[in-house]
Amino acid sequence: MAHDRAMKQNRLGQSGIVVSEICMGTMTFGQQCDQALSNRIMDRSVDAGIDFFDAAEIYPVPPSKELAGLTETWVGEWMKGKDRDSLIIATKVAGAAHGWFNPPVRGGKAALDRHHIRKAVEGSLRRLQTDYIDLYQVHWPDHGMRCEDTLAALDELVEEGLVRAIGVSNETSYGLMKSLWTSDTHGLTRYDTIQNNFSINNRRFEDELAEVCRHENVSLLPYSPLAGGVLSGKYNDGKLPEGARFSDYLKNGQPRQKAMASRFVNDKSLETTARMIEIAKEADMDVVTLATAWSKQHDFVASTIVGASCEEQLDAIFAAADLTLDDEVMAAIDAVTKEILYPMH
């Protein structure tokens, strides 16, 4: 598969997989993006040098019983006729999401036992029309289960060649360390990646998890580097932008969705965003480029997961590839986040 440009590559943990430093997320495919637009976004990503695509069995978001799995189906159809080995495909088994992701999959059940993991991977392989998944991730950990049971089931998939590497998402420091210790103790495949929220507006990952990643050779795949679109500035005019996910959640969402949106769209995040827009202007770049470049400029990050709901958003994202923010810009960002978000630090 010919690329118009090369992009820096990083290893996922200690696995044999190397990926582009930007990953195209697909959770908008099937809800905010129709199939034709989804295909164009993936085509343009490949042209920009991206070889890494992230999906999930419950996508598109917001999840629904009717649409669950559609995103994987479209990614699988897009891959037809392409060199499969040139693409790195990641997807996720739903896991226990405290009721939020459970209803759309497997009859409303999403336990991380051998039975459900086997059913989930078989469904993903079928929809993706492939005989292996490069990175298979636990979407939400199930802390009520023995983690050795989950890891043993995932280890079987690696042994059988159905999965090349495994990862976890939305995990805590304790949960990640417990899982790594369990893998080491029982001789099971280790998590090579963790996919958590990480952005200029949410730097909690740096408190403890970053140190776990550094010492245990686990790579972060940050999602929501634009803080759910907030860092684009589209919420800063005092109105809820039409068609935006958090606008819909705040206007029409369930209590859980409204609470989630409020964590992203609030006075502190909007003030931080306004300051980031100023820093980006001084650095002569789009604030989206600034936020994306900042995300991937951490030693524990392997690839930053971006997303798009229209083609026009791609140029500012792709401009962050191979871009290194200078020390002055990084210091300015740190000063703002310490002042507004973390005044006690």
C-alpha distances out from residue 239 to 88, 236, 251, Å: 38, 7, 12
Strand 9-11, strand 52-54: pairing: unpaired
Whether the predicted pLDDT of 250 surpasses 80: no
The pLDDT, as a whole number, for residue 5 is: 64
- pLDDT tens digits for range 148-180: 999 999 999 999 999 999 999 999 999 999 999
Strand ranges of the sheet holding 133-140, from the earlier edge strand across to the other edge: 219-220, 191-195, 163-169, 133-140, 88-95, 52-54, 22-25, 304-306
Q: Strand, helix or coil at 70?
A: helix
- pLDDT tens digits for range 193-239: 999 999 999 999 999 999 999 999 999 999 999 998 999 999 888 77
User: Which residues does the annotation mark as catalytic?
Assistant: 59
Whether the predicted pLDDT of 3 surpasses 50: no
Per-residue confidence at 1, pLDDT binned at 50, 70, 90?
very low
Question: Can you tell me which residue has the tokens 């820096």?
Answer: 8
At 298, list the tokens: 């951490």
| 339 sits in which H/E element | helix 327-340
- In this structure, of 24-33, 76-85, 230-239, 245-254, the range with the lowest mean pLDDT score is 245-254
CA angle (13, 334, 221) in 5-degree steps: 20
- In this structure, of 100-109, 118-127, 135-144, 275-284, the range with the lowest mean pLDDT score is 100-109
| Total count of residues recorded for the chain | 345
* Cβ atoms 140, 57 nearer than 8 A: no
Phi, psi at 82, each rounded to 5°: -100, 160
Nearest to 55 by CA among 124, 102, 107: 124
Q: Is the pTM of this model over 0.85?
A: yes
Whether the predicted pLDDT of 279 surpasses 90: yes
The pLDDT, as a whole number, for residue 244 is: 72
Whether the predicted pLDDT of 274 surpasses 50: yes
Per-residue confidence at 4, pLDDT binned at 50, 70, 90?
low
Looking at domain 9-195, which CATH architecture does it have?
Alpha-Beta Barrel (3.20)
Q: In whole angstroms, give the CA distance from residue 223 to residue 284.
A: 25
DSSP one-letter string for 230-248: GGGTTTTTSSPPTT-HHHH
